């Protein structure tokens, strides 16, 4: 299983607008591509020297092939929407994570 992680630092001047857009438009659009099982939006708990607020959005791909198809057919359009809206107020980088194993706590 592959996690597609997008980390974004967003300028405080557009923070509320960006967060609303992420939750109501962007994440639902990414999930609507059918390439991902789920998404988690998290705030990174660090103070940034240059300001802004940092978030990580983790999309769990159905497979490596699903993620590759996302890159091929969907990523550019969805990225460009964010760039048009927030331009130089947003800095993003992307990483891929491979899940090796998962562990849970059982209290029974």
Per-residue model confidence as pLDDT tens digits over 88-100: 999 999 999 999 9
* Structure confidence at residue 28 (pLDDT): 98
Per-residue model confidence as pLDDT tens digits over 36-53: 999 999 999 988 788 899
Digits of tens for pLDDT over the chain (108 positions)? 899 999 999 999 999 999 999 999 999 999 999 999 999 999 999 887 888 999 999 999 999 999 999 999 999 999 999 999 999 999 999 999 999 999 999 987
Q: Is 49 helix (H, G, I), strand (E, B) or coil?
A: coil
Q: What is the CATH number of domain 2-98?
A: 3.30.70.100
* Structure confidence at residue 68 (pLDDT): 98
pTM of the shown model: 0.92
Tokens of 56: 């990580």
Domain layout of the chain by residue ranges: 2-98
Tokens of 92: 């993003």
* Structure confidence at residue 45 (pLDDT): 95
């Amino acid at each position: 299983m592959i996690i597609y992680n997008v980390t974004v630092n967003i300028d405080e001047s557009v923070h509320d607008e960006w967060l609303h857009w992420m939750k109501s438009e962007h994440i639902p659009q990414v999930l609507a591509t059918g390439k991902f099982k789920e998404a988690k939006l998290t705030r990174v708990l660090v103070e940034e020297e240059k300001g802004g607020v940092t978030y990580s959005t983790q999309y769990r791909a159905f497979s490596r092939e699903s993620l590759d198809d996302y890159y091929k057919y969907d990523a550019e359009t969805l990225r460009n929407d964010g760039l048009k809206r927030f331009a130089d107020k947003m800095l993003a980088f992307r990483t891929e994570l491979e899940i090796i194993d998962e562990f849970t706590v059982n209290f029974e």
